[in-house]
Amino acid sequence: METLTRAELSDKIGRICADVSRSDVESLVDEFFKTISSSLETGGVVRLSGFGNFLLLDKNQRPGRNPKTGDIIPVSARRVVTFRPGNKLKETVDRSTRAKSKANRVTLEKSVQEEIA
């Protein structure tokens, strides 16, 4: 599983938009994340059509447990950011997962057949 970093994202966008300077692409990516962050900071919801939604959830205070000592410790109320993927993203990931699963199954079947032969 590969991780996509901000720098790699900038590089990929830079390759697509070859006529835009690297610093402009980095500024665009930074501004994109700043805009999402500031919208969430003010209590908004970020909806990216075809990708998904960033939502804020308010969590109530609840009892927690120190795993070392077993003591009960209150976990304070807080606001958390959640992401709900859109249908297009779900379908894309599902398609990719099914294709990899099928490829692995075919490889496994071939190796089993070679062992038998």
Give the predicted TM-score (pTM) of the model. 0.69
Provide the pLDDT for residue 116. Answer: 61
2 closest CA partner among 86, 100, 81: 100
Question: Domain limits of the chain?
Answer: 1-42, 44-84, 86-117
CATH topology of domain 44-84: HU Protein; Chain A (4.10.520)
Provide the pLDDT for residue 46. Answer: 96
For the chain, 117 residues long, the average pLDDT of each consecutive 10-residue run is 89 91 93 95 94 95 94 95 95 83 61 58
Provide the pLDDT for residue 108. Answer: 53
Provide the pLDDT for residue 117. Answer: 56
